[in-house]
Amino acid sequence: MESQPPPLPEEISSPPRTVANLEFEELRKLYNKSSGISGLNIMGGFVLIFSLFFFFVPMGEDTVQRQGAFAFKIALSSLALATTVGLQFRFGWGRIVGFIFCAYLLILFPIGTLIGIFGIVALVGSEPLFGKDGWRAQELKKEYKQRKKALRAR
């Protein structure tokens, strides 16, 4: 059994990474980003439902046009599903798929363009919220609400 090397001085002196250790401004920014990601996730769910609903609606008489529409519906549904799952559970790959999904939505003028722009803005700078070491939305929300309530009580 191999012994672990002694910890570095930074590891000894650094406080544990908790939401309570965040400055209020940093907590507010992370909370707002997390809320934006949650909003994008809801919109992604609506796009998924919309694309699945129209999945069975035939488009055009031409076989090539039908195949193109079918491929578009498959791509949109798959991206919407992957984005919704990735953003809901804040997987590391969820942010990347979210960017791809938002870029894809930009071509669906006007509603898709608005959702795509909102999504890109929400995803920019949200890296600390994703992955194994990402901040969890429930923790951020709870701490933010407590601190905001304490500030109002002053």
Determine, yes or no, domain membership for 116.
yes
Report d(CA 134, CA 71) in Å as an integer.
34
Residues 129-139, mean pLDDT to the nearest whole number: 87
pLDDT category of residue 77 using cuts at 50, 70 and 90: confident
Determine, yes or no, domain membership for 133.
yes
Report d(CA 90, CA 109) in Å as an integer.
28
Q: How many helices (H) and strands (E) does the chain have?
A: 6, 0
Q: How many CB atoms lie within 10 A of CB 109?
A: 10
Determine, yes or no, domain membership for 16.
no
Residue with tokens 């934006």: 36
The region of weakest confidence among 75-79, 102-106, 143-147 is: 75-79
Residue range(s) defining the domain that contains residue 79: 22-153
Residues 125-147, mean pLDDT to the nearest whole number: 89
Residue 114 has pLDDT above 90, yes or no: yes
Q: What is the model's pLDDT at position 2?
A: 66
Determine, yes or no, domain membership for 2.
no
Determine, yes or no, domain membership for 61.
yes
Determine, yes or no, domain membership for 93.
yes
pLDDT category of residue 6 using cuts at 50, 70 and 90: low
Nearest to 51 by CA among 28, 69, 25: 69
Nearest to 130 by CA among 100, 96, 106: 96
Determine, yes or no, domain membership for 10.
no
Q: What is the model's pLDDT at position 55?
A: 66
Determine, yes or no, domain membership for 12.
no
Quote the tokens at residue 150: 């304490």
Residue 67 has pLDDT above 80, yes or no: no
Q: What is the model's pLDDT at position 73?
A: 81
Residues 119-132, mean pLDDT to the nearest whole number: 91
Q: What is the model's pLDDT at position 95?
A: 93
Structural domain count, the chain: 1
Residue 92 has pLDDT above 80, yes or no: yes
